Structure 1
């Protein structure tokens, strides 16, 4: 992930956005299969998992809009000095996916991280490994370069090891501190 970050962060926003938009198309094209996988892994009714699959694609437009609203460069004068704010990628981000919304919620962290030039180590819930695996397949088909997202499967101990790993620049998750 670190080696891929050194290349990924240098791509223009337009280049990163194009890959993310390709992923959105892959999600739309495969939404029924995504819904079926989530239903099998979580036991949710298919109507609910179809909604989640749709939300995965919908999150991309929201993330692109948020990127434009919250990034760029701003400067102002304060106390006789020029202050400049520049947004830069942080680096390698760990993303922990939950069981209850295994497609949509991790996507809500992965997409903004990638748009911002970060790379990701993604650990889905041990109860929904297939959902994570299928999402990674779609990212590959969308043209994401090798190493930009790295999939790690395992139980809570795997999550603890990932969270404690040297070289992470951030940890992203939805839920409690007991996430694993």
Structure 2
């Protein structure tokens, strides 16, 4: 049975219906476990909410350093990421490997964008001075798609975390395996507990997340 719920830095089993994913190339089971219950989804958003203030108050440099370490951890796991993607949704090995590479490359792009678009600026004005700062939204829900199950959610999670938000990630039920590898990489990078949480499941899990205490 696969790991299906990651809340506040700990994995646990889901408490809702069982579901499994089969490899479209050979029919073998690539992932199986229980979906997250509505209560577990609430626990995940609560953990993200409780972690958000401390994460947002950290200096930008600290968040950037953790995300840089995450990129390094992804690079070390590129084969595992590619295998997870390919076994779940049938993407060819070379294409899945390319997606894994895009995930680590996204971090550098996001760091550059954070500095350019959401940093702090100061300028003199006719009647004083102007200061421009940005604040995080809060708790963000990220939904993974079937066709790019690693790259696309990663492309939302990374900039959200850099900006001081926390996340609850619901992978596609058609491609759930890559989430575990991503969590391993974040843990190795030193991401604090509660900043990223994962809830596996289908439509009902997604609906519970949308109805939960999120900001975007």
User: Could you tell me the TM-score, scaled by structure 2's length?
Assistant: 0.74
Are positions 1:168 and 2:214 aligned together? yes
The offset of 1:76, in angstroms, is: 6.6
Aligned equivalents of 1:69, 1:107: Cα separation in 2: 20
Aligned match of 1:64 in 100, 107, 111? 111
Unaligned 5+ segments in structure 2 are: 1-47
How large is the RMSD of aligned CA atoms in angstroms?
1.7
The offset of 1:84, in angstroms, is: 4.5
Asked whether the equivalents of residues 84 and 178 of structure 2 are also in contact (C-alpha less than 8 Å), the reply is: yes
Check 1:14–1:81 CA distance in 2 against 1; reply closer, same or farther (3 A cut): closer
The aligned counterpart of 1:8 is 55
Query: What's the secondary structure of 1:9's corresponding residue?
Result: helix
Aligned match of 1:114 in 161, 167, 170? 161
Asked whether the equivalents of residues 167 and 197 of structure 2 are also in contact (C-alpha less than 8 Å), the reply is: yes
Asked whether the equivalents of residues 120 and 132 of structure 2 are also in contact (C-alpha less than 8 Å), the reply is: yes
The aligned counterpart of 1:23 is 70
Asked whether the equivalents of residues 88 and 174 of structure 2 are also in contact (C-alpha less than 8 Å), the reply is: yes
Alignment of structure 1 residues 1-180 onto 2, 5 Å: 1-74=48-121, 84-165=131-212, 167-170=213-216
Offset from partner CA, 1:132-177 (integer Å, 9 cap, x none):
1221121111111100000011101110110111x2111xxxxxxx
Check 1:84–1:49 CA distance in 2 against 1; reply closer, same or farther (3 A cut): same
Query: What's the secondary structure of 1:128's corresponding residue?
Result: coil
Offset from partner CA, 1:114-140 (integer Å, 9 cap, x none):
000100000010111111122112111
Aligned equivalents of 1:149, 1:32: Cα separation in 2: 23
User: Could you tell me the TM-score, scaled by structure 1's length?
Assistant: 0.88
Check 1:78–1:18 CA distance in 2 against 1; reply closer, same or farther (3 A cut): closer
Give 1 or 2 for the bigger CA radius of gyration.
Answer: 2
The aligned length equals 169
Aligned equivalents of 2:66, 2:123: Cα separation in 1: 34
Q: Bigger CA drift: 129-138 or 1-10?
A: 129-138
The offset of 1:72, in angstroms, is: 2.3
Query: What's the secondary structure of 2:80's corresponding residue?
Result: helix
